[in-house]
Amino acid sequence: MTEPGLTRLVECVPNVSEGRRPEVVEEIVAAFAAPGVLVLDHSSDPDHHRTVITLMGQGPALVEGAVAGARACARLIDLNHHRGVHPRMGALDVLPFVPFGAETRLRGGDDSDLDCADLAERAGRRIAAEVGVPVYLYGAAARHPGWTALPAVRGRGFETLRAAPDRVPDFGGPGLHPTAGATAAGAREVLIAYNVELADADLALARRIASAVRERDGGLPAVRAMGVPLASRGRGGPGDRQGGPPVDRGDVQVSMNLLDWRATPPAAAYAAVAALAEANGARVETSEIVGLAPAGALDGVDPADLRLRGFSPDMLLESRLLQALTTSKETR
């Protein structure tokens, strides 16, 4: 991939608070697909009630797509009626810009179109002004030292922030949008969303395993984790969703964000979860990568050893980009 322009590519991975209405997801994805933006993937989960979209393009095109996508999210999603196991504070919940091309960087440089933090600021400013949704900056774009980590920005989520806002957004506000909440726009390195589903386990065990593997509690480096129920799998109860009763037994998941796949690749995360599950009389049913992963993260790994659901080379970021570029050329 050496054609002109590829060194200037930026990745953008919007996380949207909708995972159950396919027609709404399709409309939102189409809105993000501004001219010059390649939609590489979108992955929805009904239990998390969330969709992760992977976009690639040059900076200005991604900013245009982000504003259009934010507008569609605000129009189509009402968080007052949204319940899922994943924390959220906004209809367009998270909007990270990620360096990809050789010329792009997390922050700094002479060209703002190659600066992911600057792109996050530009998108955030316009979303607040044009869509009316307040925006917090996080990651490398954060203006406040305490807002570098996404969980610190999101806090306890939409309902809590709406009832008692304890921080002023970087753009817009000070209160949340009444139905679309607020968006966290930021700049970060590549993140892999990786989930391991357990059988013969209850929610309490999934949560204990999550605590054991996450960095904050002394676990694996650069790992965030939570234990969640999977009511849609059919064996559990109604789900430990926001506002819902807890699940005692059924299908459960250790849901992880691998913030640095070189420090903790999926294979290491899988091994840790599997060992803890086995030690407690449970077992791994399957695992999944949400969205796309860089090829290096699975280099030398047999996907069967991770029980990866539906694995194919299409799950690799570089492969999907090559496909999208080829399709784009053919349709010109």
Catalytic residues, by residue number, are: 86
Q: How far apart are CA 292 and CA 62, in angstroms?
A: 18
Tokens 């991770």 correspond to what residue? 306
Between helix 116-126 and helix 59-76 the angle, nearest 10°, is: 40
Tokens 């030398």 correspond to what residue? 300
Reported as half-sphere exposure (CB side, CA atoms, 13 A), residue 244 has a value of 19
Q: How far apart are CA 44 and CA 20, in angstroms?
A: 8
Q: How far apart are CA 326 and CA 303, in angstroms?
A: 26
Q: How far apart are CA 80 and CA 243, in angstroms?
A: 11
Reported as half-sphere exposure (CB side, CA atoms, 13 A), residue 141 has a value of 33
Q: Which helix (H) or strand (E) holds 137?
A: strand 135-139
| Contacts (Cβ under 8 Å, ≥6 apart) of 27 | 72, 76
In DSSP notation, 104-122 reads -BSS-SS-GGGBHHHHHHH
Q: How far apart are CA 215 and CA 221, in angstroms?
A: 5
**Cβ-based burial of 328 (10 A; exposed 0-12, middle 13-18, buried ≥19):** exposed
Q: Please name which of 92, 88, 96 lies closest in space to residue 141, comparing C-alpha atoms.
A: 96
